Amino acid sequence: MARWFMVAGVAVYPLVLMFYQGWRSQSGLADSQGLGLFYALLIATVIAVPLLLVALALWISNRSPDLSRNG
């Protein structure tokens, strides 16, 4: 399960960049200062970080020993 969250967290970046390139080519706007790319990467980070944190939490919970069993 953690693997799917990890894959989703990593796959967000190329998907957001493809969306940004598509929007830029459709709108015809010149992004001379690169702010559109900055905002696209910021949005990708905001989406990816929670997914990666969930993946990390699931991975840690699967690796930790079950302390409820004494024996």
SS3 8: helix
Residue 68 lies in a domain: no
- What is the C-alpha to C-alpha distance for residues 14 and 8, in angstroms, rounded to an integer? 11
Residue 33 lies in a domain: yes
By CB neighbour count within 10 A (0-12 exposed, 13-18 middle, 19+ buried), where does 9 fall? buried
Residue 50 lies in a domain: yes
Residues of the domain holding 58: 2-62
The lowest-confidence range among 14-18, 37-41, 66-70 is 66-70
Position 7 scores a pLDDT of: 92
pTM for the structure as a whole: 0.70
Residue 16 lies in a domain: yes
Residue 69 lies in a domain: no
Counted domains in the chain: 1
Residue 70 lies in a domain: no
Position 33 scores a pLDDT of: 67
